[in-house]
Structure 1
Amino acid sequence: MGAPPPESGAAAPAVNGAQYRPAGGSSSSPAALAGLWNESDRQRIRGRWQELQLRFIDDPHLVAGEAERLVQEAVTSLTASLDARRGQLHQQRAARGLDTENLRASLRDYREFLDRILGL
């Protein structure tokens, strides 16, 4: 078996120079994250995750490999969703025109999107 999870007061390990925050410890709200995600993909992936957890006891090695693939699918899906939103913002900016007030609205939309990404 692997190492037990850190106790609630223990420091989490650093990942890529940043402190790892386990599920539930993220500073972003679920609503902000859900708004960046394709809802049907999110629900499908969550259902598959729950199914994997139920099967773990029967074949841990197989399930761990499937979990790795599921995470890759989730990353791919989220990346596609983020890129689609970025494309929408670009189209909105182009459609608004170049006067200062329209550019201000575009900048506000980009700021909101970036804040949501940085909150992940």
Structure 2
Amino acid sequence: MQPEGDELAPQVEEDEPDRVPVESPPAPAVSSAPVNGSAYRPVGGSAVSLAALWNDADRQRIKARWQELQLRFIDDPHLVAGEAERLVQDAVVSLTASLDARRGQLHQQRAARGLDTENLRASLRDYREFLDRILAL
């Protein structure tokens, strides 16, 4: 015998009175932070620009070059696709150099701070923020 009400609700058989319907686990939370956006919010921190990972001159140069390639695509798609590949390669090299420079700065800051626990905590905080920025890319 079916109880009256919502037909899609879990049903309990009459011959199994101790059985309780099992609910599905809640869906995992979806982050509202943009994955490829221009900012991220580290845990307990404020929004920080992902653009800060880039050398500003290189970032502007790459963006301008990309816009120019898009405009030229119709005239020579094959040539522009090859240039786009090289532009992406240049962007990866530029970003890698910027990330490595920041890593070097963090190392120098940690070395200059000394070994007391408070200074090491500050260094760890800086490393966490940098890693959060990398992971947000």
* TM-based fold match above 0.5: yes
TM-superposed CA distance for 1:95, in Å, is 0.1
Name the structure 1 match of 2:38: 30
Alignment RMSD: 1.4
**TM score, norm. by length of structure 2:** 0.67
Q: Distance in 2 between matches of 1:26 and 1:64?
A: 28
Q: Distance in 2 between matches of 1:34 and 1:103?
A: 27
Counterpart check, 1:45 vs 2:62: yes
Hey, which of these two has a bigger chunk of helix by percent? 1
TM-superposed CA distance for 1:33, in Å, is 1.6
Q: Identity percentage over the alignment? A: 84
Counterpart check, 1:106 vs 2:123: yes
Counterpart check, 1:70 vs 2:87: yes
Q: Distance in 2 between matches of 1:84 and 1:48?
A: 24
User: How many residue pairs end up in the alignment?
Assistant: 96
TM-superposed CA distance for 1:26, in Å, is 4.2
Runs of 4+ residues over 3 Å off in structure 1:
none
Q: CA offsets per residue over residues 47-92 of structure 1, 9 Å max, x none?
A: 0000000000000000000000000000000000000000000000
Q: Distance in 2 between matches of 1:46 and 1:108?
A: 32
TM-superposed CA distance for 1:28, in Å, is 4.9
Q: Distance in 2 between matches of 1:59 and 1:28?
A: 29
Name the structure 2 match of 1:61: 78
Structure 2 residue runs without a partner (length 5+): 1-32, 40-48
- Larger Cα Rg: Structure 1 or Structure 2? 2
Structure 1 residue runs without a partner (length 5+): 1-24
Q: Residue 57 of structure 1 aligns to a residue in which SS?
A: coil
Q: CA offsets per residue over residues 12-64 of structure 1, 9 Å max, x none?
A: xxxxxxxxxxxxx9425414320100000000000000000000000000000
Counterpart check, 1:83 vs 2:100: yes
